[in-house]
Amino acid sequence: MALRPYVTLRRKSSTPVWLSISWRVIFVLLLVGIAIGVHWFDRGGLQDNADGHVSFIDVVYFTMISITTTGYGDIAPVTERARLFDALIVTPIRIFVVLIFIGTAYNFVFRRTWDKWRMSLIQKNLHKHIIVAGYGTSGGEAVEELLARGTLPEEIVVVDTSPVAIDRAEQIGCAVYQGDATRDKVLEAVRISKASALIVSAGRDDTSILIALTARHLAQNVRISVAVRAEDNEVLARQAGADIVINPASFAGLLLAGSCHGEHIASYLSDLASSGGRVKLAERLVSTAELGKPLADIVSGLGVRIYRDGRPFGFWEEEVNVLQAGDKIVEIVEGTGRPRQLGRPID
């Protein structure tokens, strides 16, 4: 999938559009006023070829024509001082005025049109992508792990309200969208209905649950994984539509408890959870060649569990002795053994 990194308007300016335009107009008028004032002060260096008299109206006319064009020649500087002023002052003012008008047109017309076109192009190509709502510590760790497991940056869309977080995600090649993922229009903009998965790590349980609820309302089939901090919010997250609920504090507790029963248990569990360990967990559908065989006979890895019709069966249970079509196999496979090199974001 070809998807170029894109960032929307990073922050809403506190200055209204009308005020921004007004400041630019005032600045242009100030430059023009300076030019008129100096021309009026040095009007003796100008010559009016029509009537020979240079009035204030003539000065205003000559200044405006000089700034906006190269002049018509009906009024011209004749002294060296007047010509030097036109060359060194009026010409830069002309350039500044043109740049200000071009910049205003770009910011308020061309840029918005260009951004809308680019966004529509990216949205058209979004399909089976992974959306990460919240690019703090947990969300950033999830993105790093996805990349380490072979997911392309172009297949990841990061949504966050923080322009700093958006900057970090864009630097590693992800598509980005600055906005509130609890809003329908934001999730629709990143094509939640076409996504394969949504990872939610908003930093607050109530926000994460609301994101999951909004996403499930918009996309019935997307797989939603939510990180919550409070144990009593796990049920709420599932009721909101989350398929997988992860409590980082609980997982840390499991590692700590495991370390009390063996010095290598915690490190092995960490290996299983990370692509950078010597071993890792993988999940896949049973292959045609494996149908009818026991789980112990698979050759791609060490089978530890299967899921059949949504129910888990361990390697010691009778159901795993005959693999069936539609079974999902969870197996331990060889890891890369190489730690990730990507930088970790900070909340």
Residues 141 and 346: beta-carbon distance below 8 Å: no
* 85-89, 123-127, 286-290: which is most confident: 286-290
For the stretch 13-68, pLDDT in tens is 455 656 666 777 787 778 778 878 877 777 777 777 767 777 888 787 777 777 77
Ramachandran category for residue 196: left, alpha or beta (phi over 0 → left; psi -120 to 50 → alpha): alpha
| pLDDT of amino acid 346 | 37
* 31-45, 112-126, 201-215: which is most confident: 201-215
Who has greater pLDDT, 68 or 203?
Answer: 203
CATH number, domain 17-123, options 1.10.287.70, 1.10.10.10, 3.80.10.10, 2.40.40.20: 1.10.287.70
CATH architecture of 278-334: 2-Layer Sandwich (3.30)
How does the average pLDDT of the chain come out, rounded?
80
Strands (E) located in 150-278: 156-160, 175-178, 197-200, 223-227, 244-246
Q: Quickly list H helices, 16-110.
A: 17-41, 56-68, 80-85, 91-105
pTM of the model: 0.57
CA–CA separation, 215 and 127 (whole Å): 16
CATH number 3.90.800.10 is the correct assignment for the domain at 126-246: no
Tell me the domain boundaries of the chain: 17-123, 126-246, 278-334
16-30, 100-114, 333-347: segment of lowest average pLDDT = 333-347
Who has greater pLDDT, 234 or 55?
Answer: 234
Who has greater pLDDT, 236 or 149?
Answer: 236
Model confidence at 5, in pLDDT bands (50, 70, 90)? very low
Who has greater pLDDT, 51 or 132?
Answer: 132
Q: What residues contact 334, with CB distance under 8 A and at least 6 apart?
A: 278, 279, 280, 301
CA–CA separation, 137 and 3 (whole Å): 25
- If we measure between CA atoms, which residue out of 284, 24, 217 comes closest to residue 295? 284
